[in-house]
Amino acid sequence: MAVHELFRRYPELEKVPIEPIASLPTPVEQMKGMRDATGLDIWVKRDDASGALYGGNKTRKLEFLFGDAKAQGKREVWTVGAIGSHHVLATCIWARHLGMECSALHFPQPITPHVIKNLKALSTTHPKLTLIGHKTGLPAALFKVKLKEWLSTGENIYYIPGGGSSPMGAIGYVNAAFELVRQFEELGEPFPEIIVVAAGTAGTYAGILLGLRWLGLSTRVVGVRVVERFICNKPMVVHLANQTADLLRSYGAPKVPSITMSDVELDHNQLGEGYGLQTPQGLKAIELARETHDLTLEPTYTAKAFGSILSHQKQWKGKRVLYWHTLNGADLTPLVEQYDPSGLPDSYQDFLEGA
C-alpha cells in the first residue's frame, strides 16, 4: 500500500481525489562513490522506482490527475509532449491500465535510440496521436484539435498539460517533498542543503519547492532548465506553485505558504544547443553516475540535471546535495518487443524506418 505522507500529516486532504498507482515511498541513497569522484556528499532520491508499470516523476503526478479525471467521470485523457516524451508514454500506459482512452499532441525532437524505444513502447497502447510541426505551433494546434473534440465528445475528455504540470499534478510532488523530509528524519541524517532536479514544464520542481517551504525548510531547490526559457522561467514556476497552494487551501490545508521569485533558483546553463540534444557535461554525468552508483541517466533531462551538480563542484564543496532522479526505471523491454506498427499513425513510420 502506497504511503502518502501529505495525507498522514493532514488527514483533511484525503478528500483530494487520487488513483493510487505509485509505489511509495521511493528509496533515498547516498552516492558514496561520488565523493571520491567529485568531493561532494551526493544523495539520490530514486523516483525511477515510483511505479511497477512505469516509474519516474510522471507517475507521482498522474495518480492525482487520473484521480481527478475519474472523480469527474471522464473516460479519456488528452495530453501533449515531444515524440519521445516520457510523460506521454507514462500517461498512455497508465490510462490503458485504468481502462481509459488516451490521446496526445506530439511535436518533433531529435531522434535518438531512446526516442525510438519510447515510440515502440507507446505503440502498444494504441493512442490517438496528432503530430504537429514545432513547439511554437502548439497552442494553435491544441486549440483546433481540442475544439473539434469538444464539439463531439468533449464532456468525456480530461486535459493533462505537458509533463502533468497542473496544480493537481504538482500536488504529487508536494507529497514527495513531505516524504523526503520524513525519510531523512528516520535516517537520522542532516537534511540536504541543496536539492537539484530537472525542470521542463516545472510541475515537479514547483511541487518540491512548495512542499519544503510549507514545512519551514529553507533548502535551496535548484531546477535545471532543459527546455527553452519561454517554457520554463521564474514567473511560470511561481504561478504554478501558487496555483497549487490555492488548490490545497481549497481542500482545507492549513498554513500553506505563497512562493515568491526569491524562492526560485533555475540553472539556465545546461540546455546546450537545445531540447533533447546531448551536452559534453551531460555525457560526463552519464558515465560517472553509471560507474560510481550504477545509476542510469539519459541525455534530455537527467544527465543535464546531474551535470549541473558537476558544474558546481567548487561552489558546493562541503555541502550535502540531493539529486532527484526522475527517469523511469521500469523495464520497457517487453513493450518494445511487442512493438505494433498499427498502434502509431503512418507518419510515424518515417521516424522508425529512418532509425
Q: Which residues of 86-125 are buried (b: 16+ CB within 10 A; e: fewer)?
A: bbbbbbbbbbbbeebbbbbbbbbbbbbeebbbbbbbbbbb
CB 171, CB 16: distance < 8 Å: yes
Same-fold call for 13-57+165-325 versus 58-164: yes
Q: Which has more confidence, 138 or 66?
A: 66
Spatial separation of the C-alpha atoms in residues 299 and 312, rounded to whole Å: 19
CB 199, CB 224: distance < 8 Å: yes
Length, in residues, of the chain:
355
Domain-by-domain residue ranges, the chain? 13-57+165-325, 58-164
Q: What Cα–Cα distance (Å) separates residue 134 from each residue in 81, 84, 106, 108, 221?
A: 11, 14, 9, 6, 31
Averaged pLDDT for residues 225-236: 96
pTM of the prediction?
0.94
Nearest by Cα to 199 from 176, 160, 165, 167: 165
CB 305, CB 196: distance < 8 Å: yes
| β pairing state of 41-46 and 28-30 | antiparallel
The CATH classification number of 13-57+165-325 equals 3.40.50.1100
Fold assignment, 58-164: Rossmann fold (3.40.50)
Q: What Cα–Cα distance (Å) separates residue 274 from each residue in 55, 204, 235, 301?
A: 25, 21, 21, 11
Three-state SS for 214? helix
pLDDT (tens digit, 9 = 90+) per residue, 50-85? Answer: 999 999 999 999 999 999 999 999 999 999 999 999
C-alpha cell at 41: 556528499
Averaged pLDDT for residues 116-125: 95
Q: Which of 102-111, 222-231, 333-342 has the lowest mean pLDDT?
A: 102-111
Spatial separation of the C-alpha atoms in residues 16 and 68, rounded to whole Å: 8
Instruction: Inform me whether the pLDDT recorded for 139 exceeds 70.
Output: no
Instruction: Inform me whether the pLDDT recorded for 138 exceeds 90.
Output: no
Secondary-structure percent of the chain, ordered helix, strand, coil, rounded to 5: 50, 15, 35
pLDDT (tens digit, 9 = 90+) per residue, 86-106? Answer: 999 999 999 999 999 999 989
Sorting pLDDT into bands at 50, 70 and 90, what band is 313? very high
Report the chain's mean pLDDT, rounded to a whole number: 93
Spatial separation of the C-alpha atoms in residues 334 and 353, rounded to whole Å: 20
Cis peptide before 25 (omega within 30 of 0): yes
Which residue's C-alpha cell is 514547483? 206
Instruction: Inform me whether the pLDDT recorded for 23 exceeds 60.
Output: yes
Detail the DSSP E strand segments found in the chain: 28-30, 41-46, 76-82, 101-107, 128-131, 157-159, 194-199, 220-225, 265-267, 320-325
Sorting pLDDT into bands at 50, 70 and 90, what band is 133? confident
Averaged pLDDT for residues 280-292: 97
Q: Phi then psi for 266, rounded to 5 degrees?
A: -115, 135
